[in-house]
Amino acid sequence: MFLPFAGQGEVESAVCPEMDNIIEARELQIERKHFYVEFRENERGRFLRITEEAHGRRNTIIVPSTGVDEFTAAIDEVIESAERQPA
């Protein structure tokens, strides 16, 4: 389930605040894990930041905006391929 944030000014990042501007953000909880999906920008450009928080630990990946389409296409391909495989 995606939990929308009230407004851009009220968004608190899952990671330490830096000099990034949050453009759009969503929070997602699956079982005991929380995911924070944030589209941000800073002086170096725009990027997608995905943070997983589980059991008090955080893992983050950052995808430059120039690679977001390729990144999401790869995820779609992996899922489609897995669904074609026998269980």
The residue that leads in pLDDT, 13 or 7, is: 13
Q: Residue 34: which domain range?
A: 2-84
pLDDT at 3: 47
For range 30-35, the mean pLDDT: 94
Closest residue by Cα to residue 64 from 31, 86, 35, 42: 42
Split into its structural domains, the chain has a count of: 1
Contacts with 20 (C-beta within 8 Å, 6 or more apart), sequence order: 13, 40, 41, 42, 49
**Residue 17's CATH number:** 3.10.450.700
pTM: 0.74
The percent of residues in the chain predicted with pLDDT above 70, rounded, is 79
